[in-house]
Amino acid sequence: MDTEPVVVPALYNSDRMGSQEVLSATTKLASSTMILQVLFRLLTFGLNAFTLRYVSKEIIGIVNVRLTLLYTTVVFLAREAFRRTCLSHSSQQNWRHTIHLTWMAVPLGICWSLVLGWVWLHVLEVPDPDFIPHYSTGVLAFGFSAVIELIAEPFWVLAQAHLFIRLKVVAESLAIILRCSITVILVLVCPQWGLIIFSLAQILYTSLLALCYIVYFTRFLGSQEAKKKPFPLTKMMDFFPRYSASQDFLDWKQTWLAWSFFKQSFLKQILTEGERYVMTFLNVLSFGDQGVYDIVNNLGSLVARFIFLPIEESFYVYFSMVLERGKSVKNQKKEDVCAASEVLESLLKLVTLIGLIIVAFGYAYSQLALDIYGGSMLSAGSGPVLLRFYCLYVLLLAINGVTECFTFASMSKEEVDRYNYVMLGLSAVFLCLSYYMTVWLGSVGFILANCFNMGLRIAHSIFYIKGYYKESHYQPLLGLLPSTAVICVLGLSTALTGYSEVSFCCDKGWLLRLAHILVGAICILITAGAVLLSEIKLIHFIRSHFLSSRPKKRA
């Protein structure tokens, strides 16, 4: 017999948890995520560099562009809308409804896997089996792996909502290490298997990822830590759907919000992976060129994955907790609005500085980085030019991540619906730009189209944030303006490292390469000194929250 639904405090409750405590927990989540990401992915980075020397760039193009696109499309379209909905702030959270909603990702993922799998097998160009065998096996394996990962979605949402600091990063990192290790071993032992190697590694990756969440909560539920939280569920069966005649299976208001986010996520996926869709469906690049582009893209996005993505994910939770969705500044608590403004300004300053440093030093060190990572296959062709342009894209990606995480956390349902039309227009413009600029400029055209698209998204978010705070004296967008001292030092560093590259790198021997690296290290130290001396407010924010070992007490 079913009991009454358990209604527990929402993700954020002012009586239980103030904005400073939420901020402390969120920054701890972000900083722990970044540290663990770096530690675990350094090993992954080395394993991938090793694999590149034994696998053709055509195989890399098929796996990292064609098959990975299938996997990411299924996963993103099946779960993104539910994640954003279930992590939104509300006065009360009915976890029974929330769990039912998250489980909807599984049947949705199965449907997407079947539909898109058919497209990948029967609509798209199939590689020559004499050169790239087992393509159909790869499509089936990557589609199946997406469904396996979606099984862990209810566990992920509960973990994220209750700010479980290390679970997400440890689970993902262990799964990535397993995937890379299996890939390296099989490439050395059974190279003739081709795509089967990557298919098996992908299934093991998602299986371990889902298993980590399930095992963790199996041990966690019923423990003393769960009772202290207090955690809303008491046994593993509470994670599974349960029909009750006394209540609706879903919260329909929450469901309609998920539908709004679903329409938005469909468009966002096109914008996020647009170049891969163009490569996959329009065949503007060969499989080999796709492989080189993807390697450069992965190398260029290391900082985005290590730093920017954890910040975006963690602080989306923070803004969702602190701010009431859809309410104006006047109708929110003054201390919460102030805290959110200060955090947004500091985050914008942080990611802008990191992005500018990447732009300043990326030009002179792109060729060296590619040569160390993948050898002449990457550094002798178009790779260095691609990576230099990608550095500019990383700056725009960093700013967009923070501005959009605030925007999506504070928008009302109606504003989310209106933004869907904006995303539709951006998607159409981006896809057209990607195609024509790639025909005109080659692989660089993809990056320039991404930069243009990201600039438009940033402009929209800035316009929204200005409007959001127009009835107050807060100006968080000032975080986009670094100090004059930092700008001058970065300009000087760009000139010095550029001259150093011409003089010492990259075909003049390792001794001169080390001299080039030394010049860059000195310039980095000078830049860090300028930041420490001129960005006092940002340094205080980092010390108080990211580097603090204890949560900050509310006054």
- pLDDT value at position 22? 64
Any idea which of 26-40, 214-228, 406-420 has the lowest mean pLDDT? Answer: 26-40
For residue 90, is pLDDT > 50? no
Q: What is the pLDDT confidence band of residue 142, given thresholds at 50, 70 and 90?
A: very high
- pLDDT value at position 3? 36
Tell me the C-alpha distance between 252 and 260, whole Å.
12
User: What are the tens digits of pLDDT across the range 495-550?
Assistant: 999 998 888 877 777 788 888 899 999 999 999 999 999 988 889 888 876 665 44
Region for 10 from its dihedrals, namely left if φ exceeds 0, alpha if ψ lies in -120 to 50, beta otherwise:
beta
For residue 4, is pLDDT > 60? no
Q: What is the pLDDT confidence band of residue 350, given thresholds at 50, 70 and 90?
A: very high
- pLDDT value at position 331? 80
For residue 169, is pLDDT > 80? no
- pLDDT value at position 14? 39
For residue 374, is pLDDT > 80? no
Contacting residues for 116 by C-beta, under 8 A, at least 6 apart: 70, 73, 74, 143
Q: Give domain limits for the chain.
A: 40-260, 273-474
Query: How many other CB atoms sit within 10 Å of the CB of residue 553?
Result: 9
Tell me the C-alpha distance between 334 and 151, whole Å.
40
7 vs 208, higher pLDDT: 208
For residue 39, is pLDDT > 90? no
- pLDDT value at position 242? 73
For residue 339, is pLDDT > 80? yes
Distances (CA, A) of 290 to 46, 294, 437, 501: 21, 6, 15, 28
User: What are the tens digits of pLDDT across the range 52-79?
Assistant: 778 877 888 898 889 999 999 999 888 8
- pLDDT value at position 5? 35
117 vs 320, higher pLDDT: 117
- pLDDT value at position 399? 93
| Rounded (5°) CA angle 404-20-228 | 105
Q: Tell me what percent of the residues of the chain surpass a pLDDT of 90.
A: 25
For residue 391, is pLDDT > 50? yes
Helices 309-322, 19-52: crossing angle, 10 deg rounding: 160
- pLDDT value at position 91? 41
**SS3 of residue 92 by DSSP:** strand
- pLDDT value at position 11? 41
For residue 425, is pLDDT > 90? no
pLDDT mean over 294-313: 77
- pLDDT value at position 553? 42
Where are the extended beta strands (E) located within 328-480? Answer: none
Structure tokens belonging to residue 19: 């904005």
| Rounded (5°) CA angle 230-234-236 | 135
Are the beta carbons of 235 and 388 closer than 8 angstroms? no
Tell me the C-alpha distance between 351 and 344, whole Å.
11
Q: What is the pLDDT confidence band of residue 333, given thresholds at 50, 70 and 90?
A: confident
Contacting residues for 384 by C-beta, under 8 A, at least 6 apart: 366, 367, 370
- pLDDT value at position 127? 86
pLDDT mean over 472-487: 90
Q: Tell me what percent of the residues of the chain surpass a pLDDT of 70.
A: 85
For residue 88, is pLDDT > 80? no
DSSP 247-265: S-SS-HHHHHHHHHHHHHH
DSSP 206-230: HHHHHHHHHHHHHHHTTSHHHHHTT
**pTM reported for the whole predicted model:** 0.70
pLDDT mean over 246-255: 68
In whole numbers, what is the pLDDT of the chain averaged over residues?
Answer: 81
Q: What is the pLDDT confidence band of residue 551, given thresholds at 50, 70 and 90?
A: very low
User: What are the tens digits of pLDDT across the range 120-135?
Assistant: 999 988 888 888 889 9
- pLDDT value at position 555? 35
Tell me the C-alpha distance between 239 and 158, whole Å.
9
Q: Which of 196, 206, 176, 208 is nearest to 48 (CA)?
A: 176
For residue 227, is pLDDT > 50? yes
Are the beta carbons of 426 and 267 closer than 8 angstroms? yes
For residue 423, is pLDDT > 70? yes
User: What are the tens digits of pLDDT across the range 401-416?
Assistant: 899 888 888 888 788 7
Are the beta carbons of 407 and 461 closer than 8 angstroms? yes
Tell me the C-alpha distance between 553 and 21, whole Å.
7
Are the beta carbons of 391 and 296 closer than 8 angstroms? no
Helices 413-441, 443-468: crossing angle, 10 deg rounding: 160
